[in-house]
């Protein structure tokens, strides 16, 4: 039986974190990647986007941890503990952290990614006007730019298609102008 079918059966066809029944998929709890039911959970798109820091955290949505933190499923406990720690500045979350128990092995797993040290704020790639950018988007330059180390002069209004986000820097994207891939600062572009 496939992992997805096993997780679907275990979860009762619901998100194991928030109980949503829409847009469910397998989520391998980092850093484990052995692709088995003991390292994976079945979650909705909204939980996944916020876990992966692709969307601002929604405190109201994560009130669901009041239930999921008591799950007997270890990877659900690990993710619940990590998320509660990301909200630890909020009273409801800090109270839940104090109530929650994980044995030494599972607390080590929960701490392994360092995600528990992050707060609820999420750094996302945004254009000059605050619109969220994603890989593959089309953008327009809002300023003429001289490309260092090249003869290219990217003019105001130049359209850049199929951008790629720079992973470790939310202020930069990569895009092709005149056939050459360059790094562009997000403060000089607008999502089209």
Q: Looking at residue 1, what is its pLDDT? A: 74
Q: Buried (b) or exposed (e) across 113-126, using 16+ Cβ within 10 A?
A: eebbeeebebebbe
Say how many Å lie between the first and final Cα of the chain, rounded: 44
Is the pLDDT at 33 greater than 90? The verdict is: no
Task: Give the residue-averaged pLDDT of 43-61.
Answer: 91
Q: Do the Cβ atoms of 58 and 17 come closer than 8 Å?
A: no
Q: Between vectors from CA 79 to CA 78 and to CA 85, what angle results, nearest 5°?
A: 95
Packed helices 74-86 and 104-111: angle between N→C axes, nearest 10 degrees: 50
Task: Give the residue-averaged pLDDT of 60-69.
Answer: 95
Query: How many C-alpha atoms does 81 have within 13 Å on its Cβ side?
Result: 23
Q: Which of 96-105, 107-116, 153-162 has the lowest mean pLDDT?
A: 107-116
Task: Give the residue-averaged pLDDT of 73-84.
Answer: 96
The dotted CATH code for 139-191 is: 2.30.30.40
Query: CA 186 to CA 122: how far, in whole Å?
Result: 16
Average model confidence (pLDDT) across the chain: 90
Q: Looking at residue 122, what is its pLDDT? A: 67
Rounded to 5 degrees, φ, ψ at 75 are -60, -30
Q: Which residue spans of the chain are classified as CATH 2.30.30.40?
A: 139-191
Interval 176-188: pLDDT, tens = 998 889 999 999 9
Place of tokens 């092995």: 105
Interval 122-161: pLDDT, tens = 678 889 998 889 899 999 999 998 887 787 888 999 999 9
């Amino acid at each position: 039986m496939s992992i997805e079918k096993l997780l679907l059966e275990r979860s009762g066809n619901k998100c194991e974190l928030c109980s949503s029944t829409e847009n469910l998929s397998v989520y391998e709890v980092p850093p484990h990647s052995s692709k088995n039911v003991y390292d994976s959970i079945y979650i909705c798109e909204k939980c996944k986007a916020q876990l992966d820091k692709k969307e601002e955290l929604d405190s109201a949505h994560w009130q669901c941890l009041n239930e999921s933190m008591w799950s007997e499923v270890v990877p659900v406990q690990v993710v619940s503990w990590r998320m509660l720690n990301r909200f630890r500045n909020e009273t409801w979350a800090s109270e839940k952290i104090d109530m929650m128990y994980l044995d030494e092995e599972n607390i080590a797993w929960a701490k392994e990614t360092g995600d528990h040290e992050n707060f609820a704020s999420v750094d996302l790639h945004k254009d000059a006007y605050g619109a969220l950018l994603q890989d593959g988007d089309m953008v327009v330059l809002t300023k003429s730019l001289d490309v260092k180390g090249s003869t290219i002069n990217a003019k105001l209004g130049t359209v850049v298609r199929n951008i790629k986000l720079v992973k470790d820097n939310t202020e930069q994207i990569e895009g092709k102008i005149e056939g050459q891939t360059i790094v562009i600062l997000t403060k000089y572009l607008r999502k089209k």
